[in-house]
Structure 1
Amino acid sequence: MKVTVIGAGAIGGNLAAKLSTAGHDVQVADARAAEATDAVQGRDVIILATPFGVAGQLAGLFALVPAKTVVIDTANYYPHLNGQIEAVDNGAVDSVWNAEQLGRPVVKAWNAALAETQRTRGVPAGTPGRLALPVAADSVEARRVAMQLVDDTGFDPYDAGTLADSWRQQPNSPAYCTELTLDELPAALAAADRAKDAAIRDSVPQRFAALGANPTLDDIVEMNRAAHR
């Protein structure tokens, strides 16, 4: 597939590298650069690897993108990083709000794995213990495309339903950055609690600081798991 990744940070870099290795035609564009206009034309998939809240700034760019192009949103809302967004704080689902700002439907994928998990723990399909990632979208076809790409990056894709259900994979739910297998992920999604998970999300700076100066990936995953015990 022809894939454009907008955003060249850790997540965007990981996805571009993994998908290119899997044989896809991958371009990377900076959301603030004029080159993004050309990079979103004639593509099958556009992956937004940008901070939460940036989507509204890209609405004009995406007005030029054909409706058949699958758009995948990887962003997560953290008030201490993104600033308070009243609509989301008052109950709007993060990804639904992002889609409204962008002006078109999106798929939610890759948001529920840490960047280092994405970079180092993807393995071929069929490998025992392979980690799974949830994928949510209103379009069955767009969800199918995104699930295939998740598989290509080394993770078992799990059909997590519609975009309205994607709050179950947002920060800091039991399914969020806890490195679960395909057998374990459904129960974690079902256990999500919006009020509790938001409170855990907002305590991340304090809990992260308690890990010390150089926490490992396993330390961070355990911190996320422990918050739900």
Structure 2
Amino acid sequence: MRTTFWAERNILPPCGVGSDMTTIGIIGAGHIGSQIARKAVQLGYDIVISNSRGPETLTDLVAELGPHARAATPAEAAAAGDFAVVTVPLKNLGSVPVEPLAGKVVVDTNNYYWERDGHFPALDNGEATTSGLLQEHLPASKVAKAFNHIMFSQITTDGEPAGMPNRRALATASDFPEAADLVTRLYDEFGFDTVNIGPLSESWRVERDRPAYGQRQNAAELEENLARAPRTV
């Protein structure tokens, strides 16, 4: 069994999160989900990954990932994970299982592409955020924004050890400090610094078409880009 991030460093895990954090449930096996899975198994995590088409369609990916990964349905992945990653198109948000994710941290990678998802007036008008919509769908979970403003391929290639000059930074936001803490520690394991935007109501600052979106930036540069983001684009 994997020695957890927190045990290795002799520190307590975030409040409300179990100390034996070994399994990540991934809901969505597209570009981002599969890349997070690849990096996570390299780090020793167990992965339960799912998509909308059924576990049998993930045979090749699971074979590539090796013995620390298995395919499942979204509900099974949600139930199996000590925490979960939700990485599905925004238009499919309603399909994310609710009950198995109750009480868990849910890492949300989503972006709003109206060309794909259709228009969400609350997003168009600057009245909501993508992660806020997922939090509304999962009222008993602890949603945190993460991995949404990096090219999927760079998740496994751009990480560097802590303390490296100009280390790339990624943003997170959550209404729950323990969820933001989990993302911060996960980012560090993946090789990235963290800039915490604050609550989900501020997570629009890192959404599509804002200055921070898709850029390779260190923490200071990310903070600057977040600060100059317009509310609507």
Give the share of equivalent positions with the same residue, in percent: 36
Aligned to 2:168: 131
For structure 2, which runs of at least 5 residues remain unmatched after alignment? 1-20, 55-71
Aligned to 2:107: 72
Counterpart Cα distance in 1 of 2:156 and 2:89: 19
Number of equivalent positions: 193
Q: Is it true that 1:174 corresponds to 2:211 in the alignment?
A: yes
Question: Structure 1 residue aligned with 2:76, among 8, 15, 38?
Answer: 38
* Displacement after TM superposition at 1:87 (Å): 2.1
Quick one: which amino acid aligns to residue 177 of structure 2? V
* Displacement after TM superposition at 1:116 (Å): 2.4
Q: Which runs of 4+ in 1 moved over 4 A?
A: none
Counterpart Cα distance in 2 of 1:182 and 1:36: 34
Question: Structure 2 residue aligned with 1:93, among 129, 149, 172?
Answer: 129
Question: Structure 2 residue aligned with 1:25, among 34, 46, 60?
Answer: 46
Q: TM-score scaled by structure 2?
A: 0.77
User: Secondary structure at 2:210's aligned position in 1?
Assistant: coil
Per-residue Cα deviation, 1:89-141 (whole angstroms, up to 9, x for no partner)? 12222221232234444110010111122232122222222110001001001
Aligned to 2:67: none
Question: Structure 1 residue aligned with 2:119, among 68, 84, 90?
Answer: 84
Counterpart Cα distance in 2 of 1:49 and 1:5: 8
* Displacement after TM superposition at 1:42 (Å): 4.1
Aligned to 2:28: 7
- Contact (CA 8 Å) 1:27, 1:39: kept in 2 or not? yes
Q: Is it true that 1:53 corresponds to 2:91 in the alignment?
A: yes
Per-residue Cα deviation, 1:60-104 (whole angstroms, up to 9, x for no partner)? x2223331x110110100111211112211222222123223444
Counterpart Cα distance in 2 of 1:40 and 1:96: 19
Aligned to 1:16: 37
Aligned to 1:63: 99
Counterpart Cα distance in 1 of 2:170 and 2:179: 16
Quick one: which amino acid aligns to residue 145 of structure 2? K
Counterpart Cα distance in 1 of 2:75 and 2:145: 22
Question: Structure 1 residue aligned with 2:221, among 159, 184, 191?
Answer: 184
For structure 1, which runs of at least 5 residues remain unmatched after alignment? 199-229
Per-residue Cα deviation, 1:33-72 (whole angstroms, up to 9, x for no partner)? 37222222242210011112322122xx2223331x1101
Counterpart Cα distance in 1 of 2:37 and 2:100: 23
